[in-house]
Structure 1
Amino acid sequence: MRRVILASSSPRRIELLKQFGIKFEIIPSNVDESINQSLSVEENVIQLAKKKAQEVFIKLGEDSKQSLIIAADTVVYVEGIILGKPSNEDEAFWMLRKISGKWHTVYTGVCVIDGPSERILVEYEKSNVYIKQMSDEDILRYISTKEPFDKAGAYAIQGFGSLIVERIEGCFYNVVGLPLYRLNIMLQKLGYDLMKGEL
């Protein structure tokens, strides 16, 4: 019996996978998600997604041979700077001010490890997002919702953050944290298909 593992405790990623009626387990990775500004944004998300999946693969031991592991890592890229999750209110304020009134790019690296075939696939998706011009008061009001603190770039497109997102180009679910179209392409390469409920 194959075990499907989501290597994340992100409520957004959990909800996105649940909508397909898939039975899966949640085993979060404990990988350090620190951003390496000396690497490209693509390298950052690909490396972190792969590290997360591999850590859970090792954690499973013998069970890894019958497991399909899905991991993802999301960051925001603006004006040459990679933004992860803010660790406090000051960081959240700085990030939101940084992306206010301009376009930024959201990158998500996705790694799928197929235990039975021992294949590892790693890809990334990117989307462009325009955040409305916000006053300091707007930013503080948004921070007071507590929504920014576990989100790359300090906002959630599907929550109160939807009120500050003016435009988006590309995959919406990528901005949420799990690009479903990209994920399914990867799964199809391994012989699975979310559309057919094959996982």
Structure 2
Amino acid sequence: MIGFFNDLPFYLSGLATTTAVSVLGICIAVLVGVLLALSLRSRLRFLSLTVRVYVEFARGAPLALVLFLLYYGGPQFGLVLSPYVTGIVGLGLYGAGPFAEIFRAGLDAVPKGECEAAAMLGLTPGQALLHVELPQAIKLTLPPSVGQAINLVKESAVLSVITLGELTKVAGAISSISFAVVTPYLTVALLYWALVETIARLGLYAERRLAAKGS
């Protein structure tokens, strides 16, 4: 027990790193995902096909491969990133593909009649997207988006391959010093659970708020 409290600052440091990198990575994934979703619906065939290739690659490639390409392959092309920045960018680029599919499906699910009604009222396509399609798509895509955010948090466990001091890396370091296996990894598992549960609760709260506004 004394050893656990001595290691507590390291666990908290790893939790802070995991939380910060995951949240920032999710934000990038959502923003890029929205842009990709809009591009997938573009009438420009070349643009939609190019984005489709990227989305399929992001959905199929392991996160560890993306991280290796950025962190170890980037310097060969003059791109030198710290482990912290690599983790954020890697999670963002990796998560953008699934988010793009989620948002595309949500936008496609908005009834066509509402978009036509917006056009009849004199709204430009951009205004219709902002005021009609996106608000409804957000309600439709919130549950799967929360699920994808949770997946990214759990995927962040592989960030230790680029020497980032997140939770899994901390558990490995403590285990190698103390020769304990169960306590470090069980503690980290509980911290991941707490982080995931927090995101799930926030998602439920957001769903209820949106449902209350729509009623």
- Do they fold alike, i.e. is TM over 0.5? no
Bigger relative CO (Cα 8 Å, ≥ 6 apart): 2
Q: TM-score, normalised by structure 1?
A: 0.33
Name the structure with the higher helix share: 2
Q: TM-score, normalised by structure 2?
A: 0.32
Name the structure with the higher strand share: 1
